[in-house]
Chain A
Amino acid sequence: MRRRHVLAGTLAGTVALAARSATAQGSDLRFGALYPFSGPLALLGDESFRGFELAVEERNAAGGIGNARIRIIRGDAVDQNQAIGEARRLMSVERVQAIFGTYASPLSFAATQVTELAGTPYFELGAISDPITERGFRYLFRTCPVAKFFGEGTVDAVTGIAQKLGQDPKSLRIAVLREDGIYGTTVSAAQKARIQQLGYQMVEDLSYSVRAVDLSSVVQRLRGANVDVVLHTGYQNDILLFYRGMKEAGWKPKAVIGSGAGYSLTDTMKAVGSDFQNTLNVDFTQFAVNERVAPGVKQFVEAYARKYGHPPRSGHSLANFMGARVFFDALARAGSMDKDRVRAAVLATDVPEYTTPTGWGAKFDEKGQNTRARPFLLQWQGEQQVTVFPPEAAVAELRIGLGAT
């Protein structure tokens, strides 16, 4: 297709584009869905997309946005370069009126740079890196919580653990352990700030390369420092190495608290085995959550299973579903796809907390960041992650003691 355009010259290309945008003038709204559909990030990229797709289907069944049906045009963002290329293609060739995405922060960073310049609204539903909405962009809006809240949530969990242990939280010896990429760095910076703010004691601050093949020396360091609680920000492979190292050394802390990603995957739990029991994790809302604070979560799981034939693979789909719904409502209120009217409508959004399937509310600041989204504290109990904090969202008591009892 692309080659033919080049061969036939610009004239044919222009005609084709004109014809296409003419059909788009009908009653359809054209929205780009930019996610990693292939490559190493594909599993959760696709899981995120499914949430968006379900929100679109629900909206179309109810008449669309202002009587216009939504059409999804997919863009496959495998890496940063492709995210930029696909964002450009969606805007120029496909003439989309807005883009939704992206799951992975680096991809969101890259793609939003070109959409902002073109003035196309970009709705971020799942990438958590704080600086994405700190670049002064006017047409970028994000519903999901940022990494800072993840970091703070893990430290606040220490307070809960201390309570259960009947100890002063300041007496617990905390270690911050992280992979040395952007994910680990951002989350751990928030953790350290919170630890200092609360006057807790951090006895170790260790980072390692994701390409590490052995973390036994890390475990020895933690053991040597007599660590009670490990706040670990890592990916699936290093989580496995960390738990293997602890088993090998015959040592474990009182608690390990993860920050999403690898800690949320059922495969990680299965691969580590019973030692993973009672591991804590701060992440997007999962499905074992009190329905009173997350109304509609059951219906979402049912709709998901009907369409895809199995239960959701992680909470990413739910987060994208919630975010897409919030933005569809805002677009309906805007009454047009004009970028400034869209911005005004998004900033006027006011959804109270605990009224959406993720439990998050929606109220955007000037930067376009939702200020009413917080991750919950989860714990692996049995085969699933249950919500244990805050109390109104919890479905189970926080348990003490890492590993099977």
Chain B
Amino acid sequence: MEVLPQLIVNGLLLGGAFALISIGLTLVFGIVRVVNFAHGELFMAGLFGAWLLSSKVGLTPYLAAVPLVVILFAAGAAMQRFIIQPLMDADPHIQIFATVGVGTALINLALILFGADIRTSELPWAREPVRFAGLSVARGFLVAFAVSMVATAALVLFLKRTHLGRAIRAVAQNRNAAPLMGIDVPRIYIITFGIGSACVGLAAAVLSPLFPAFPTVGTYFALTAFVIVVLGGMGSLEGAVAGALIIGLVDSLAGYYVAPDLKEVVYFLIFLLILVLKPAGLFGVRGSE
């Protein structure tokens, strides 16, 4: 069996999973201009939600996506309305503190409610491998990859083709001019934050058969998601997908050819290199960072 093609496929599929988590973050970053440090914890909440819905209600984890997207949209919108909005005119670090606070609160809430144990959503089907052309991949990763690509495409179309999408982009381009065009900026922020969180809800449901839920799982993904978003260019959905695929590939190849404990070193080196050459990220526009 050839190792290299297998590593590349593993890397791309892992990248697909990362992309699903990162698109929500980049949207909030690019439009609301808030660095949401609670993003990983929203993902954690989503994983627990998927576990509750599958083990207590009997929904298969994939179907749990429907209620989770709705619930996380509401949670994100509420977070923007009641926590970020009142601080919108404050110093950016105050907003950062607020999101860090929300994240810490969510971790501890999960510790109280569920304890430190891991919980897995049961869907053995997703962990079964499919074999083709000498390669072997888990079905769940294929599903996650497909969902990730479709979700990104849908989000891009939504932003480009619909009235609401145009309004969102207008706010991103100039938040002072947008209200003069009759756009209700605070409302756009609430909706955007909601959509960003809904993306994590979708990610959590799709990834729940592959990744167990535990209170600190969000921090495992959050750092990678931040790297991806900055790498791809803040606010750029295409950039987030490209960044995620690159990081996924590096993770897989460096883990094999270098050493598993050095793979973070390798991807931070690549990250630094890209930022030196292209400070706004791969797909970023200068000045938007």
Contacts and interface: CB of A to CB of B under 8 A. Distances in A.
Given A248-B127, A248-B129, A220 B6 contact: yes
B10 A216 contact: yes
A207 B261 contact: yes
A250 B224 contact: no
A217 B14 CA distance: 11
A219 B211 CA distance: 17
Interface string B194-219: 00000000000000001110111101
Given A41-B116, A209-B264, A213-B211, A220 B131 contact: no
Contacts of A248: 10, 127, 129, 136-138, 141
Given A212-B260, A217-B255, A267-B118, A237 B111 contact: no
Contacts, number: 107
A180 B210 CA distance: 23
Given A217-B251, A240-B212, A249-B136, A39 B221 contact: no
Given A207-B261, A249-B129, A217 B7 contact: yes
A292 interface: no
For the side of the interface on A, what is the size category? 35 or more
A66 interface: no
Contacts of B264: 209
Interface in B159-215: 210-212, 214-215
Given A41-B116, A43-B117, A217-B255, A247 B127 contact: yes
A38 B115 CA distance: 9
Majority SS at the chain A contact face: helix
A240 B120 contact: yes
Given A41-B116, A43-B116, A248-B138, A207 B260 contact: yes
Interface string B109-130: 0010001111010001001110
A217 B252 contact: yes
Interface in B209-259: 210-212, 214-217, 219-221, 223-224, 251-256, 259
Contacts of B277: none
A215 B260 contact: yes
A180 B264 CA distance: 13
A262 B254 CA distance: 26
Given A206-B260, A213-B224, A237 B214 contact: yes
- B interface SS class: helix
Given A208-B260, A213-B224, A39 B138 contact: no
A220 B14 CA distance: 15
A237 B115 contact: no
Nearest to A275: B127
Contacts of A208: 255, 260-261
B171 to A, nearest CB: 33
A237 B116 CA distance: 11
Contacts of A218: 255, 260
Interface string A116-159: 00000000000000000000000000000000000000000000
B137 to A, nearest CB: 6
B3 interface: yes
Contacts of A212: 220, 260
Contact of A209 (B141, B212, B261): B261
Interface string A206-248: 1111011111111011001000000000001100100010011
Q: Which of A216, A224, A249 has the most CB of B within 10 A?
A: A216
Interface string A286-313: 0000000000000000000000000000
Given A41-B116, A248-B138, A217 B129 contact: no
A213 B20 CA distance: 15
A40 interface: yes
Contact of B131 (A207, A224, A250): A250
A382 interface: no
B252 A216 contact: yes
Contacts of B212: 236-237, 240, 271
B116 A40 contact: yes
Contacts of B256: 217, 220-221
Given A237-B118, A240-B212, A217 B111 contact: no
Contacts of A250: 129, 131, 136
Contact of A42 (B7, B115, B127, B136): B115
A273 interface: yes
A382 B117 CA distance: 21
A313 to B, nearest CB: 10
Nearest to B1: A223
Contacts of B10: 214, 216-217, 220, 248
A91 to B, nearest CB: 28
Interface-central residue, B118, B131, B215, by most chain A CB under 10 Å: B118
B112 to A, nearest CB: 9
A271 B118 contact: yes
Contacts of A273: 124
Interface string B1-22: 0010011001000100000000
A220 B259 CA distance: 12
A207 to B, nearest CB: 5
Contacts of B210: 244
Which 10 A/B pairs are nearest by Cβ-Cβ distance? Answer: A217-B255, A208-B260, A40-B116, A217-B256, A248-B138, A271-B120, A207-B261, A216-B10, A250-B136, A211-B220
Given A214-B10, A216-B10, 18 more contacts: A39-B116, A42-B116, A43-B115, A43-B116, A43-B117, A214-B251, A214-B252, A215-B255, A217-B254, A218-B260, A221-B260, A237-B214, A240-B212, A244-B127, A244-B210, A248-B10, A249-B136, A267-B118
Interface of B: 3, 6-7, 10, 14, 111, 115-118, 120, 124, 127-129, 131, 136-138, 141, 210-212, 214-217, 219-221, 223-224, 251-256, 259-261, 263-264
Interface of A: 38-43, 180, 206-209, 211-218, 220-221, 224, 236-237, 240, 244, 247-250, 265, 267-268, 271, 273
12 contacts: A38-B111, A40-B216, A43-B115, A206-B261, A212-B220, A214-B252, A217-B252, A217-B254, A218-B260, A237-B212, A244-B210, A268-B118
